[in-house]
């Protein structure tokens, strides 16, 4: 888990109530004559820091997450404590990417032990798989958002959970290797038990690929002596198909898929230095994994929308300037800020309701976020700061 970036205190903080009001108005037009937006631009100009901070205020009497609700934008899932009270173990929450409509998914009284930051929601929105810790020992739990019932699935954490599209199975790293959660039986089965081989258990977590036919993992050289940096297994039987360079070698064990599953990025250390002195991070085609289909100069861990919106580290997402945007700023970072709460890697803990999944290419998530300031707005802010000083 990446360490949370330090957030500079000089950032302007937008109150959640204001954010909610803007969201209800809809469209980027709501910011054109907004005084708070102008003040935010002044803060960014003064500190030469192009970032927008959402202050996350957990409601005292929260609404519960509706398992079958349809949303206009992605939901970010996170752990948080109400009233910044470190004496409580907190709960699991979700909100829209613009920090609006914060809802409680799992309360602290519904789970024995402490919450971990590993969580994943089923495609239909009903079930949540997450890791816990109880008296220092890890565990894996299943929570039903419809009935509010909790079931313990195992005595090890469940990490890198990936659901099949129909929600019948969920692949994960459980204990010391891969495992499958079967929805019909509500139980986890180790890959070593499926393949009747201990060898399959001795490696790292992996990725469900090739239209859910294969499961690919980094080939730990301690256990796999052949050529190729990755091992490919049959996704149902876990029989070894091949050892090969399925992903570019530069990726090693760090591969981050986009929300739509059509592309991926690699480890943030996989960049190359360009003559300009900037870094070049490649975006690859998920169907032809050696094919480069895009570039970015920023260290992005996950693609929310290609060429538009990316997830960076644990608390921020980044929008990229579009061809029709008249702004001197190439990118804007949106940071979620609150004491006593934690995100996992944001691109991993984003949930899309079924209507968004079906229409992902037709929806522009940028419309829900504060736009990049124009050149005129930046100049006006500089003049105003000069007058004030």
DSSP code string of 177-232: EEEEEETTTTEEEEHHHHHT-SGGGSS--EEEETTTTEEEEE--TTT--SSSSEEE
pLDDT in tens, 358-369: 888 899 999 999
Per-residue pLDDT at 1? 32
Residue 241: the pLDDT is: 92
Classified as helix, coil or strand, 241 is strand
Q: What share of the chain is helix, strand, coil (3-state, %, to 5)?
A: 20, 35, 45
| Beta-strand pair 13-14/51-55 | parallel
Q: Which of 50-59, 65-74, 226-235 is predicted with the least confidence, judged by mean pLDDT? A: 50-59
Please list, residue by residue across 136-155, b when 16 or more beta carbons sit within 10 angstroms of its beta carbon and e when fewer do: eebbbbbbebeeeebeebbe
Task: Give residue-wise pLDDT tens across range 298-342.
Answer: 666 678 898 899 887 567 888 999 999 999 999 898 988 875 555
3-state secondary structure of 66: coil
Whether the Cβ atoms of residue 90 and residue 104 lie closer than 8 Å to each other: no
**How many other CB atoms are found less than 10 A from the CB of residue 164?**
16
pTM score:
0.84
Domain boundaries, the chain: 13-388
Q: Provide the token pair at 388.
A: 């004030």
Pick the CATH number of 13-388 from 3.40.50.720, 2.40.110.10, 3.30.540.10, 2.120.10.30: 2.120.10.30
Q: What is the per-residue pLDDT across 164-214, written as a single tens digit (0 to 9) for each?
A: 999 999 999 998 889 999 999 999 999 989 987 666 766 667 899 999 999
């Amino acid at each position: 888990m990446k360490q949370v970036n330090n957030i500079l205190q000089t950032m302007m903080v937008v109150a959640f109530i204001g954010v909610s009001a803007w969201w209800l108005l809809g469209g980027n037009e709501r910011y054109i004559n907004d005084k708070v937006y102008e003040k935010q631009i002044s803060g960014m100009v003064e500190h030469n820091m192009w970032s927008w901070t959402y202050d996350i205020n957990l409601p005292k009497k929260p609404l519960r997450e509706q398992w079958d609700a349809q949303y206009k934008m992605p939901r970010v899932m996170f752990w948080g404590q109400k009233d910044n009270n470190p004496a409580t173990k907190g709960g699991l929450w979700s909100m829209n990417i613009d920090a609006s409509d914060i809802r409680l998914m799992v309360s602290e009284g519904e789970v024995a032990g402490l919450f971990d930051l590993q969580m994943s929601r089923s495609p239909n929105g009903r079930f949540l798989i997450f890791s816990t810790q109880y008296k220092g020992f890890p565990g894996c739990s299943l929570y039903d958002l419809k009935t509010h019932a909790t079931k313990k699935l195992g005595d090890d954490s469940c990490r890198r959970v990936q659901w099949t599209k129909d929600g019948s199975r969920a692949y994960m790293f459980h204990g010391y290797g891969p495992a499958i959660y079967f929805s019909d039986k509500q139980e986890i089965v180790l890959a070593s038990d499926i393949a009747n081989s201990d060898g399959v258990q001795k490696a790292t977590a992996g990725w469900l690929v090739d239209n859910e036919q294969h499961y690919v993992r980094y080939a730990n050289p301690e256990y796999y002596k052949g050529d190729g940096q990755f091992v490919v297994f049959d996704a149902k039987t876990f029989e070894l198909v091949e050892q090969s360079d399925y992903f570019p070698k530069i990726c090693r064990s760090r591969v981050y898929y986009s929300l739509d599953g059509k592309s991926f990025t690699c480890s943030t250390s996989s960049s190359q230095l360009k003559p300009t002195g900037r870094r070049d991070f490649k975006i690859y085609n998920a169907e032809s994994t050696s094919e480069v289909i895009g570039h970015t100069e920023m260290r992005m861990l996950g693609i929310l929308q290609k060429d538009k919106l990316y997830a960076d580290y644990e608390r921020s997402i980044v929008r990229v300037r579009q061809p029709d945007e008249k702004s001197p700023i190439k990118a804007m970072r949106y940071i979620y800020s609150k004491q006593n709460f934690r995100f996992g890697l944001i691109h991993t803990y984003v949930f899309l309701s079924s209507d968004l999944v079906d229409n992902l290419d037709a929806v522009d998530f940028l419309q829900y976020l504060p736009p990049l300031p124009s050149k005129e707005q930046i100049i006006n802010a500089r003049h105003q700061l000069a007058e004030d000083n």
